[in-house]
């Protein structure tokens, strides 16, 4: 498996910072400006969606996170935290011993689940010690039952949008419309790659979500109509700088989790390049210690 040296890693970040530091700020649309005037901006926190390393073992994932200098994990059940109390304990101990902090579980499928199965997934999140479930495919009619569990467990529930192929939740706007009258702990995980493929502007989605934005999956595409065009963040068309500015403006308190799904047999070079680029953008925005 190829590796990028620490010197190359830091150089990439510095180059991105230099490039973005000299970029003039874009004028916000009028309705965005109103949000941007309220309060101080918040630092952007970078994390990792373990789905990036879905073909790797837990031990390999931990090693990769150390190499990436990131300790904040959105962990996927089928890959790195099996939904079984006996096996979970060993995994959680392993993460804790290596300084890995879990901030979410997901993406977890809620497709066709009965009440007992749904509650079991909240129990799973509770045992993992997280306050956020990133969910895929919940049926709209199940949302009131899920909302009751959100209140009971005080665990947030973020519905992940999956683009035009997803008949239930293609865009963050679809999610927001479904939960708009519900508890504020019911919200969305904006997957930026899937979002742009629906023709939705990511920054519009960020401002529309506001406090209901509970998680973000970051990726990049060279073609906003083709999910298979994914590349390392910074090598495609995704307006990363403007997305980060929007997140800071709404004082987003959550994580931006890299979900690099290209080259699953060897994602590390793309993951390294993505983190270097994002950290460089943050430094260029005057937040060198963010990420």
Q: Please list the pLDDT of the chain residue by residue as tens digits (291 residues).
A: 333 443 343 344 444 443 334 333 322 333 444 443 344 455 899 999 999 999 999 999 999 999 999 999 999 998 899 998 889 999 999 999 999 999 999 999 998 778 999 999 999 999 999 999 999 999 999 999 999 999 999 999 999 999 999 999 999 999 999 999 999 999 999 999 999 999 999 999 999 999 999 999 999 999 999 999 999 999 999 999 999 999 999 999 999 999 999 999 999 999 999 999 999 999 999 876 677
Smallest Cα–Cα separation from 148: which of 175, 171, 122, 113? Answer: 122
Domain count, the chain: 1
Q: Please give the residue range of the domain that contains residue 222.
A: 31-284
What is the token pair recorded at 24?
């003039």
50 within 8 A of 65, measured Cβ to Cβ: no
Is 139 domain-assigned? yes
Is 117 domain-assigned? yes
The single residue listed with the structure tokens 């045992």 is: 127
13 within 8 A of 283, measured Cβ to Cβ: yes
For residue 116, give the CATH number of its domain: 3.20.20.150
Element at 213 (helix H, strand E): strand 213-218
Is 1 domain-assigned? no
Is 16 domain-assigned? no
What is the token pair recorded at 272?
């390294």
Cα angle 48, 204, 227 (rounded to 5 degrees) comes to 50
174 within 8 A of 208, measured Cβ to Cβ: no
pTM over 0.95: no
Is 11 domain-assigned? no
Is 7 domain-assigned? no
Rounded-to-integer distance, Cα 146 and Cα 204, Å: 27
Is 12 domain-assigned? no
Is 129 domain-assigned? yes
What is the token pair recorded at 75?
């962990």
């Amino acid at each position: 498996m190829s590796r990028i040296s620490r010197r190359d890693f830091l150089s990439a970040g510095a180059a991105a910072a230099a490039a973005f530091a000299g970029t003039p700020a874009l004028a916000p649309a009028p309705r965005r400006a109103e949000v941007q005037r309220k309060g101080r901006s918040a630092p952007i926190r970078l994390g990792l969606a373990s789905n990036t390393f879905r073909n790797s073992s837990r031990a390999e994932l931990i090693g990769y996170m150390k190499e990436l200098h990131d300790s904040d994990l959105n962990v996927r059940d089928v890959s790195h935290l099996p939904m079984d109390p006996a096996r979970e304990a060993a995994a959680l101990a392993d993460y804790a011993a290596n300084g890995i902090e879990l901030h979410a579980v997901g993406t977890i499928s809620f497709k066709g689940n009965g009440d007992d199965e749904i509650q079991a997934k909240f129990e799973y999140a509770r045992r993992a010690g997280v306050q956020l479930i990133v969910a895929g495919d919940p049926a709209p009619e199940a949302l009131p039952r899920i909302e009751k569990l959100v209140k009971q467990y005080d665990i947030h529930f973020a519905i992940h949008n999956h683009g035009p192929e997803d008949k239930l939740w293609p865009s963050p706007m679809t999610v927001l419309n479904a939960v708009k009258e519900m508890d504020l702990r019911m919200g969305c995980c904006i997957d930026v790659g899937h979002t742009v493929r629906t023709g939705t502007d990511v920054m519009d989605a960020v401002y529309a979500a506001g406090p209901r934005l509970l998680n973000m999956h970051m990726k990049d595409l060279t073609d906003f109509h083709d999910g298979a065009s994914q590349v390392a963040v910074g090598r495609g068309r995704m307006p990363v700088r403007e997305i980060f500015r929007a997140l800071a403006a709404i004082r987003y308190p959550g994580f931006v989790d890299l979900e690099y799904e290209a080259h699953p047999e060897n994602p590390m070079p793309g993951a390294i390049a993505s983190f270097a680029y994002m950290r460089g953008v943050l430094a260029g925005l005057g937040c060198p210690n963010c990420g």
